[in-house]
Amino acid sequence: MKKIGLLFIIMIMGSLFLGCLSVPEDGIPEITIINQTGYLGYELYISPVTSDVWGEDVLGNQVLRDGASFRLKLDDPLRRSNRYDFRLIDLDGDSYEIRNMAITHNSVITFRFNHIVRR
């Protein structure tokens, strides 16, 4: 009986802990973008799938080196949108896109060479 009670307490505490990690209070998720394209990323655009425009470059004057990561908060809370499109552009102007990605808090989006958009 003690084992069942202890197991129940562990399950409750684990659920509370995971619940605290999964969604921030404001509902706006933080995500990590990883560049594994083999090239430097000079521009990064993120847009809800419901939008027809990419918006502003979220890297600004930063460069996302190959193998490096970039952490940021999205503009919209998850209750408004949880599917996004991502575009990374390298020095040559080549685009790498990941479309219609379901996002949760702490999602990791990894750009690879096979995400290149052929012209």
How many Å apart are CA 60 and CA 44, to the nearest integer?
A: 8
Task: Check: pTM over 0.95? Answer yes or no.
Answer: no
**By C-alpha distance, which of 69, 114, 76, 117 is closest to 94?**
117
Looking at 6-10, 18-22, 111-115, which range is the least confident one?
18-22
- Mean of per-residue pLDDT scores for the chain: 84
Considering the domain boundaries, does residue 41 fall inside one? yes
How many Å apart are CA 31 and CA 26, to the nearest integer?
A: 14
Q: How confident is the model at residue 20 (pLDDT cuts 50, 70, 90)?
A: very low
Compute the C-alpha angle 36/75/48, nearest 5°: 70
Q: What CATH number does the domain containing 31 carry?
A: 2.60.40.2890
CB 113 within 8 Å of CB 67? no
What is the SS3 string spanning 94-110? CEEEEEEEECCCCCEEE
Domain residues for the domain of 34 are 27-115
Q: What is the pLDDT of residues 45-65, one digit of tens each?
A: 999 999 999 989 999 999 999
Q: What is the pLDDT of residues 72-109, one digit of tens each?
A: 998 877 777 789 999 999 999 999 999 999 999 899 99
Considering the domain boundaries, does residue 6 fall inside one? no
